[in-house]
Structure 1
Amino acid sequence: MLFIRKIAFLLAIILISSIGQGYSESEPLLYPYGPSEGDRTTPVDDDGASDNVPISVAFKFFSKEYKSLYVNNNGVISFKTAVSQYTPDAFPLTHGETFVTPFWGDVNNELSGNVYYRESTDDNLLKMITKDMEKHLPSQHFTAKWAFVATWDKVAYFGSKSHKVNTFQAALTTDGFRYFIILNYGDIQWTTGEASGGNPLTGLEGLPAQAGFNSGDNTHYFNIPGSRTAEVLKIKSTSNVNYPGRWIFRVDDFQVPGGCLFKSSFAKEGEEFWTDSTCTTKCLCKASGDVPCADESCSASAACVPSGSFFKCKEKEKVCF
């Protein structure tokens, strides 16, 4: 399999030109990154990862503290071991897999892009994070004291025969008491590598990328709406803090601001949804975080269709004769 992937890479490299890497003012949603910020890079290697990276602050994730991590080319930050797997599995994964997945898919930075990372107590970066937290979650009164930023900059997908690239970022931060992860999404142009069933010309179809968190048990996990579906292509337009392209989570005592958790999937405050493809149980995300549900079906003029992590009743198109 490795030999076949390498041959495919050699053929694809003829068809794709390298695109410049580094922080861009056209992507102000992302925190500054690149060589000018002192970032390190992961190996330029299909399915590669950083070495084990010690961090000076023990980061608390689902009540456990971690003093090192791995930055994986395939869109994962992991706390126990490197992750070379390129086709994402559905959460929960229950054999101790502990990681953050801003965009778990088949990245190939041999074709295009870099994966940057750094630990930082730089005052300018911490002020940016503090300002954003005050804007999005003012009730937290959060002042950042430490951060770890990983950025996947203009990365291509395995088997690419296009110029499509993705840019996304994960920032871990703490004030010494509470621990948050901020996920920022720049331009997202593809969802799937060829080895995951994707179309090499479009980077779509097949089994798309996963975004969210997994603690390694069957209880503590989270899927960002659209994960492992074609809808993940639109992740830049989604948010739980009313700021498209940004998701913020408290991860020591897991909380998802801006909505409710229903079976580890997110619903916005005030959102009505049906729980499955039968559309026979309708639920409401209340401001209190409660999710009352009741038996209710679609009308005869509506069809039950997927909507993010849930389902909705959509009026059928009328056919005129």
Structure 2
Amino acid sequence: MDIVGRNNDEDVLYPYGPAEGDKETPSEDDGTSGEVPLSIEFNFFGKNYKSLYVNNNGLISFSMEVSQYTPDAFPLTKGQSFVTPFWGDVDNDLGGTVYYRESTEPELLGQISQDMEKHLPNLHFKATWAFVATWDKVAYYGSASQKRNTFQAVLTTDGFHYIAILNYGDIQWTTGTASNGNPMTGTGGTPAQAGFNSGDETNYFNIPGSRTDAVLYIASTTNVDYRGRWVFEVNNFKVPGGCVYKANFAKEGEDFWTEEVCSTKCSCKDGRVSCVEEVCPEHSTCEASGSFFTCKIEEKKCH
């Protein structure tokens, strides 16, 4: 997981809201946009979809609407295919708005293309279509506070490559009270999930921190050296900036251990993971680090 310097929320989020012609989902707990037809076929994990659903609880789903508010651990294997920037118990009846639109507007496509030139220069990506869904200052179910979250999912294509961009503004809560969260803090219980699920046993991905307390800090992370932004190729699934090991992200050049006893050391190089049997060096301890484990050198005590 890479943590970099702060961008302004306005920098990481693409334009949204009434001025952009956005539609809104119903302001209700566990609501959805209903089926939204698309003017193109969007390829997600090798399957083409002509419609989608924007769900209040932080998901864009393809095969069915999703009203579930407590996130399950991936993979979900009964055909549920979705992109989730932040699957948690949103209640926009208590606060906030969920916006969405399909767009071929030149200014937006130009901005996306310019960003992809920075993030994925070898792809030579020129956007021809985009779908933007934004959860703007949304509250959590059972909230007894003014804590709000703002995040965004953007689907885009140039006709050859299919990209998902997840953007994070201000994230202040992780959990609704029906998921055993604290009504005052919006934390605890079963925290939000972020990533992708294809509906089968093998094609899924967790953004670091998912379903842990660390997801509260997701807006400080990135895989493209731009705080608050994660970018993925989702037709033939690829995660720029690192490797995928058992559906979790390892940063390019990172060494990590795969289990809590630190007996197998892996390295991410050129987008591929290689592993060897190796324990922690002497005078170090095996400790959790993001989605994996690391060997931390013990500090020497002075006498």
| TM-score relative to the length of structure 2 | 0.94
Name the residue aligned to 2:103: 120
Distance apart, 1:301 and its partner CA:
3.7
> Structure 2 matches for 1:1-321, cutoff 5 A?
26-287=9-270, 289-299=271-281, 301-316=283-298
Larger RCO: 1 or 2 (CA < 8 Å, sep 6+) = 2
SS in 1 for 2:125: coil
Q: Which has the higher strand share?
A: 2
- Tell me how far apart the structure 2 counterparts of residues 195 and 165 of structure 1 sit (CA, whole Å): 17
Q: Is the 8 A contact 2:9 2:169 kept in 1?
A: no
| Segment of structure 1 superposing worse, 308-317 or 231-240 | 308-317
The TM-score normalised by the length of structure 1 is 0.89
Aligned amino acid, residue 308 of structure 1: G
Quick one: distance in 2 between partners of 1:97 and 1:149? Answer: 21
In the TM superposition, what is the alpha-carbon distance from 1:311 to its structure 2 partner? 1.3
Deviates more, 1:73-82 or 1:193-202: 193-202
**1: CA distance, partners of 2:203 / 2:220:** 25
**Number of positions where the alignment pairs a residue of Structure 1 with one of Structure 2:** 296
Taking structure 1 as reference, are residues 26 and 281 closer, same or farther at Cα in structure 2, changes over 3 Å only? closer
1:151 alignment partner, SS class: strand
State the distance in 2 between where 1:301 and 1:278 align.
15
Deviates more, 1:311-320 or 1:38-47: 311-320
Cα 1:206–1:146 shift into 2, 3 Å? same
Alignment gaps of 5+ in structure 1 = 1-24
Q: Deviations over 1:288-314 (max 9, x none)?
A: x22111222234543322222111123
Structure 2 residue matching 1:213: 3-state secondary structure: strand
Q: How far off is 1:235 after superposition?
A: 0.9
Secondary structure of the residue aligned to 1:50 is: strand
CA separation of 1:318/1:100 partners in 2, compared to 1, >3 Å: closer, same or farther? Answer: same
What amino acid is aligned across from residue 97 of structure 1 in structure 2? Q
**Superposition deviation, residue 237 in structure 1:** 1.3
The one-letter code of the counterpart of 2:230 is W
- Aligned residues: CA RMSD: 1.4
1:196-247, Cα deviation, whole Å (9 max, x unpaired): 1111111111111110000000111111111111111111111111111111
Q: Percent identity?
A: 68
Query: CA separation in 2, counterparts of 1:26 and 1:262?
Result: 30
Letter in 1 for 2:278: E
